[in-house]
C-alpha cells in the first residue's frame, strides 16, 4: 500500500512521475554507461565489439531493478551493484563496463538527462499558466473592482490589472528558469576527485564525446560530484515559483470569502461536495491544495542549500536527501502548475458583486481623488489630506455617504462643483492607467 501521496496517484502528472520511476532512473544510468563505452571505443580505448555488447545489454529489462537491489545487499552500494550486474550480463565484454568512471560520473550525468526532460515539462506548464493569466488580464481590463491594502478597501483597480500583475510575475519565473537551465543541465566524466586521472591522456576527449552523444554540456569543473549550488538554485527557483502560485491561490481564496465573493473556483454543482455536513458549502479546495503544497516546496530549500557544503571533494550527505528533494520538487511543482491552470481556466467572476463592494465605503475609497483635485486647485497637499481625513471620519461616524459630508464643507464646495465631485467619486473614473499598464504587462509576459 502506498505511503506517499505521490505514489498513490494523488499528485503529479504521469509524464512527470514516469521520469522518476525506478525503471527510468536505472535506464538513464545504463544509457550513460553505454554511451561511455561507445565513446571509449571510438577513441580506441576499448574494443568496438565490447561497446556494442554493453549497449545491447544496457537496458532495464536485462539489468532489472530487482537484480540490482539483490546485488546491492552484498555491495551496499547501488551504483556498484548496477555495474556488477551489467558486467555479468555482458560476459567477456563486462570487463570494460564503467571503464575509468566513478559512481557520480554516472549518477550526476543521468540526473542531468532526467532533469532536462522534467524541466521541459515544467516549462510547458508555466508557459500555459502565463497564457491563461494574459487572457484573463485582457478580457477583464475594463472590469473595475476594489483594490485592497492591509485587508481594507483602498482605491479602485481593475481585475485585469490584478491578473496582469500575476502574468508578469509568472513571466519573471519563466525568465529565471531559462537562465538557470544552462547551469543545471550539465554532465560530468571527471572521475574520483575531478582530475580525470583515471581516463588518461584522452580524458577531455572522452568527456566531450560522452556529452556530445547525450546532447549535454559538460560542467566546467567538478569535484567527485557536480557542485550542488546548481541543484540548490533550481530548488530555490521552484520554491519561488511555488510561492507565486500560492500568492494567486491565496488571492482567489480571499475573493471567494462569503462577504467578498468577487471570484471563485469552478464548482461542479451536480456532483461536487463542499462539506460532509453543510450542503451549501463551495470550498476553494484546489487553491487550498496549492497553498498547502507551497509549504512543502518551501521546505525543500533548506536541504538543497545544506547539500552545497560537502566535505572536501565530496561526502554522501547529499545523496539520501536528494532522493527526496529532486523527485518531489519536480512532481509537486508539476501538480501545482497544472492545478493553477485548471483553477484559472474555470474561474468564476462576479462583476455585480464587485460593483456592490465598490459602494461599501459609500465613496470613501475615492477621497484620494478629491484630495488630489483640491491640491491641483491650489490647496496644499497636506491641508487637503487633513480635510479629507476629517470628512472620512465624519462619514464613518454618521454612516453617511462621503458625498454628503463633502457637500457641507465650504473648503471643498468653493473649489469643486457638484458635477466635479460626482465625477471624482465615480470609481470607474479613477483607475488611472490601469488599461495601459495591463497591456504593457501582458506584452512583456508574452515575450518571456
* Residues with a known catalytic role: 150, 275
DSSP 249-311: HHHHHHHTSTTT-SEE----TTT--S-SS-TT----HHHHHHHHHHHHHHHHHHHHHHTSS-S
The residues facing 349 across adjacent strands are 263
Q: Give kind and range of the element (H or E) at residue 199.
A: none
C-alpha cell at position 174: 519563466
In terms of phi and psi (left: phi > 0; alpha: psi -120 to 50; beta: otherwise), the region of 44 is: left
User: Which CA distances in Å does 121 have to 117, 126, 144, 328?
Assistant: 7, 9, 36, 14
Q: What's the DSSP call for residue 149?
A: E
CB atoms within 10 A of CB 270: 5
Q: What is the distance between the alpha carbons of residues 253 and 205, in angstroms, rounded to a whole number?
A: 56
Q: Please say whether the beta carbons of 34 and 58 come within 8 A.
A: yes
Q: What is the distance between the alpha carbons of residues 17 and 332, in angstroms, rounded to a whole number?
A: 10
The alpha carbon torsion through 178, 300, 117, 121 (nearest 10 deg) reads -70
Amino acid at each position: 500500500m502506498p505511503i506517499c501521496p505521490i505514489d498513490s496517484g494523488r499528485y503529479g502528472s504521469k509524464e512527470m512521475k514516469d521520469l522518476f520511476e525506478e525503471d527510468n532512473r536505472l535506464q538513464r544510468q545504463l544509457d550513460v554507461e553505454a554511451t561511455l563505452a561507445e565513446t571509449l571505443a571510438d577513441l580506441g580505448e576499448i574494443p568496438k565489439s565490447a561497446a556494442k555488447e554493453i549497449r545491447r545489454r544496457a537496458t532495464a529489462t536485462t539489468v532489472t531493478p530487482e537484480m540490482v537491489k539483490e546485488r546491492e545487499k552484498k555491495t551496499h552500494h547501488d551504483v556498484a551493484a548496477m555495474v556488477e550486474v551489467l558486467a555479468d550480463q555482458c560476459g567477456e565484454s563486462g570487463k570494460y563496463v564503467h571503464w575509468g568512471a566513478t559512481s557520480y560520473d554516472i549518477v550526476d550525468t543521468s540526473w542531468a538527462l532526467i532533469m532536462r526532460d522534467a524541466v521541459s515539462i515544467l516549462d510547458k506548464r508555466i508557459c500555459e499558466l502565463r497564457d491563461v493569466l494574459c487572457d484573463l488580464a485582457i478580457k477583464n481590463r475594463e472590469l473595475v473592482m476594489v483594490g485592497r491594502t492591509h485587508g481594507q478597501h483602498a482605491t479602485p483597480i481593475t481585475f485585469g490589472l490584478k491578473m496582469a500583475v500575476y502574468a508578469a510575475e509568472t513571466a519573471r519565473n519563466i525568465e529565471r528558469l531559462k537562465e538557470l537551465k544552462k547551469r543545471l543541465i550539465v554532465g560530468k566524466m571527471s572521475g574520483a576527485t575531478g582530475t580525470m586521472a583515471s581516463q588518461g591522456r584522452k580524458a577531455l576527449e572522452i568527456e566531450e564525446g560522452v556529452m556530445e552523444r547525450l546532447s549535454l554540456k559538460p560542467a566546467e569543473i567538478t569535484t567527485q560530484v557536480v557542485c550542488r549550488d546548481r541543484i540548490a538554485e533550481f530548488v530555490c527557483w521552484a520554491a519561488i515559483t511555488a510561492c507565486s502560485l500560492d500568492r494567486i491561490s491565496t488571492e482567489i481564496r480571499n475573493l471567494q470569502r462569503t462577504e467578498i465573493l468577487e471570484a471563485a473556483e469552478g464548482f461542479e454543482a451536480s456532483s461536487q461536495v463542499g462539506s460532509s455536513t453543510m450542503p451549501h458549502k463551495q470550498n476553494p479546495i484546489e487553491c487550498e491544495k496549492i497553498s498547502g503544497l507551497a509549504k512543502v516546496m518551501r521546505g525543500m530549500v533548506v536541504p538543497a542549500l545544506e547539500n552545497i557544503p560537502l566535505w572536501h571533494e565530496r561526502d554522501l550527505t547529499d545523496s539520501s536527501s536528494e532522493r527526496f528533494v529532486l523527485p518531489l520538487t519536480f512532481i509537486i511543482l508539476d501538480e501545482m502548475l497544472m492545478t493553477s491552470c485548471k483553477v484559472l481556466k474555470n474561474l468564476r467572476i462576479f462583476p455585480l458583486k464587485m460593483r456592490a463592494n465598490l459602494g461599501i465605503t459609500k465613496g470613501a475609497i475615492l477621497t484620494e481623488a478629491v484630495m488630489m483635485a483640491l491640491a491641483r486647485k491650489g490647496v496644499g497637499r497636506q491641508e487637503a489630506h487633513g480635510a479629507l481625513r476629517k470628512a472620512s471620519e465624519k462619514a464613518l461616524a454618521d454612516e453617511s455617504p462621503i458625498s454628503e459630508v463633502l457637500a457641507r464643507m465650504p473648503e471643498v464646495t468653493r473649489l469643486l462643483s457638484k458635477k466635479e465631485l460626482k465625477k471624482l467619486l465615480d470609481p470607474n473614473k479613477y483607475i488611472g492607467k490601469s488599461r495601459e499598464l495591463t497591456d504593457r504587462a501582458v506584452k512583456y509576459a508574452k515575450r518571456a
